[in-house]
Homo-oligomer: A and B are copies of this chain.
Amino acid sequence: MTPLSATACAIARPRTDRGQGDRIALSAATSHGSHLRTEDVRVWLEERRQANDFRVERIPFDALDQWRFKPGSGNLGHRSGRFFTIEGLHVEERDGPFGDGPRREWQQPVIRQPEAGILGILCKEFDGVLHFLMQAKMEPGNPNLVQLSPTVQATRSNYTRAHGGADVKLIEHFFQPERVIADVLQSEQGSWFFRKVNRNMIVETVDEIEADDDFRWLTLGQIAALLHDDLTVNMNARSVLSCLPFPDCTPGALFSDTQLLSWFTGERSRRDVRAHRIPLSSVCGWKQGPESVEHEEGRYFRAVAVAVQAGNRERIQWTQPLFEAIGVGVVAFLLRDFGGIPHVLVHARADGGFLDTVELAPTVQCTPRNYAHLSTVDQPPFLGIVLNASPSRIRYEAVHSEEGGRFLNASSRYLVVDTNDTETPLDPPPGYAWASLAQLTELTRHGHYLNVEARTLLACLNALSTQPKGGA
Contact = CB atoms under 8 A, between A and B. Distances in A.
Contacts of A183: 258, 261-262, 265-266
B180 A258 contact: yes
A266 B14 CA distance: 22
Interface in A168-200: 177, 180-185, 199
Interface in A144-189: 156, 159-161, 177, 180-185
Contact of A252 (B13, B258, B272, B433): B13
B254 A12 contact: yes
Interface stretch (A3-11, A133-141, A327-335): A3-11
A161 B4 contact: no
Interface string A189-223: 00000000001010000000000000000000000
Contacts of A39: none
Contacts of A261: 183-184, 445-446
A12 to B, nearest CB: 3
Interface string A241-276: 000010010111111111111110110110010100
A74 interface: no
A314 interface: no
Interface in A323-366: 338-341, 355-356
B10 A259 contact: no
B99 A263 contact: no
B160 A258 contact: no
A378 interface: no
Contact of A258 (B17, B257, B262): B17
Copies of this chain held together in the complex? 2
Contact of A251 (B14, B201, B338, B426): B14
A259 B338 contact: no
B15 A253 contact: yes
A50 interface: no
B263 A433 contact: no
A7 B252 contact: no
A421 B132 CA distance: 39
A115 interface: yes
A254 B425 CA distance: 46
A16 interface: yes
A51 interface: no
A318 interface: no
A272 B115 CA distance: 8
Given A100-B161, A116-B269, A180-B262, A254 B17 contact: no
| 3 nearest A-B residue pairs (beta carbon) | A12-B339, A183-B262, A12-B252
Given A15-B256, A180-B258, A180-B259, 17 more contacts: A3-B255, A4-B260, A6-B255, A7-B426, A12-B338, A12-B341, A12-B436, A13-B254, A15-B257, A16-B256, A99-B115, A114-B272, A180-B262, A182-B258, A185-B268, A355-B355, A356-B356
